[in-house]
Amino acid sequence: MSAAIELRDVRKNFGPTEIIRGVNLSIADGERHAVIGPNGAGKSTLFNLITGKYSLSGGEISLRDEVVSGLAPFQINRKGLSRSFQVTNIFPRMSVYENIRCGVLWSLGYKYSFWHIVDNLKDVNERTAEILEEIGLQARAQIPAGVLTYAEQRALEIGITIAGGANVILLDEPTAGMSHSETDQAIALIRKVTEGRTLVMVEHDMGVVFGLADKISVLVYGEIIASGTPEEIKGNAAVKEAYLGEEAE
């Protein structure tokens, strides 16, 4: 199985401080991979490096054997990688429907078209309706996204992320701030919408991590100290000491 994402000796400095210190990581196509670690370990920074928000201080990142480090976020997205954010990042003044449609338009080839009328694009509107149904927001389609409840906004965030049909999905703490029942719904949603795609996620909730991930990498102070199946990680002494403690028991 070829690697969907490969990080080779990835480094990131902010001034004299080295936040990411030589990360090597290979995530296989179709794998559900969780990156865990204590606060300040550099998990979100790693996401920002993979998606082009930050430039690398060293190393190289490939997406399906194509080097993407140095490219802008929109160029990386066009190569089939999409992400969500730790803090909800939607288009608050636009309707829920428009939010999803923005994600759909590029992937169906309309790009920057100044000729087509969006309301008349059957394929775009059908795909948008499908995604709305998948994320359970069809009844809320016409209201401004900014007035949705928190859990609905998180679902919309996931909807926007998958709308473009990217094969590699990065979710940054998708269940943060949710209640137990909301978290269960979010896990089911993530499982459904990422079926057949590569999923990389940063998550603090160990229930979510062990319930969803095929593989887990543990990031501590900018270094991956362990990588393996959930059982391997549970049994890893270094991980227990550095991060999980009794939580993984």
Partner 1 sequence: MSNMSETAGVARKASFLSRYAIWLVPAIIVAIMPPVLDSNVAMAVLNQMGIAVIFTVAYNMMLGQGGMLSFGFAVYFGLGGYFAIHGVNIISEGGWPIPLPFVPFLGGLAGLAFGALFGSFSTNRAGTVFAMISLGLGEMMASSSLIFSKFSGGEEGITTDRTEVPPFFGVEFTTEQEIYYLIAGWVFFAVFLMYRFSRTPIGRIANAVRDNPERAEFLGYSQKWVRFMSFSVAGCFAGVAGALFALNYEIVTEETVGALTSGVVLLQAYIGGIGFFAGPIVGAVIFTLLQTLMSNYTEIWALYVGVVFVGTVMYAPAGLTGLIMMHIPVYRVGRMGKLTVPYARIALPALICALGAIGFLELWQHISAGATGESEIHVFFMTLDYTSPIPWIVFIAMFLGGLWDARRVAPAVADTYGNALHYAFTGEDQ
* Minimum separation from the CB atom of position 88 to partner 1 (A): 10
**Tokens 């995604």, residue located:** 131
- Contact call for residue 3 and partner 1 (CB under 8 A): no
> What strands lie across the sheet with 17-28, from one edge to the other?
17-28, 3-14, 58-63, 66-67
Q: 3-state SS of the chain?
A: CCEEEEEEEEEEEECCEEEEEEEEEEEECCCEEEEECCCCCCHHHHHHHHCCCCCCCEEEEEECCEECCCCCHHHHHHCCEEECCCCCCCCCCCEHHHHHHHHHHHHCCCCCCCCCCHHHCHHHHHHHHHHHHHCCCHHHCCCEHHHCCHHHHHHHHHHHHHHCCCCEEEEECCCCCCCHHHHHHHHHHHHHHCCCCEEEEECCCHHHHHHHCCEEEEEECCEEEEEECHHHHHCCHHHHHHHHHHHHC
x/- site string to partner 1, residues 94 to 123, per CB under 8 A?
Answer: x---x--xxx-xxx--xxxxxxxxxx----
- Contact call for residue 51 and partner 1 (CB under 8 A): yes
* Minimum separation from the CB atom of position 90 to partner 1 (A): 7
Measured from the CB atom, is 53 or 240 closer to partner 1? 53
- Per CB under 8 A, the list member of 2, 74, 142, 237 interacting with partner 1 is 74
* Minimum separation from the CB atom of position 178 to partner 1 (A): 21
Measured from the CB atom, is 71 or 218 closer to partner 1? 71
Stretch that binds partner 1, among 2-10, 13-21, 76-84, 200-208 (CB under 8 A): 76-84
* Minimum separation from the CB atom of position 124 to partner 1 (A): 8
Instruction: Give residues 78-97 in contact with partner 1 (rule: CB under 8 A).
Output: 78, 82-83, 85, 89-94
- Per CB under 8 A, the list member of 72, 147, 188, 238 interacting with partner 1 is 72
- Per CB under 8 A, the list member of 40, 70, 73, 136 interacting with partner 1 is 73
Measured from the CB atom, is 100 or 244 closer to partner 1? 100
Stretch that binds partner 1, among 62-70, 72-80, 177-185, 235-243 (CB under 8 A): 72-80
Residue numbers at the binding site for partner 1 (CB under 8 A): 51, 53, 72-74, 77-78, 82-83, 85, 89-94, 98, 101-103, 105-107, 110-119, 160, 163-164
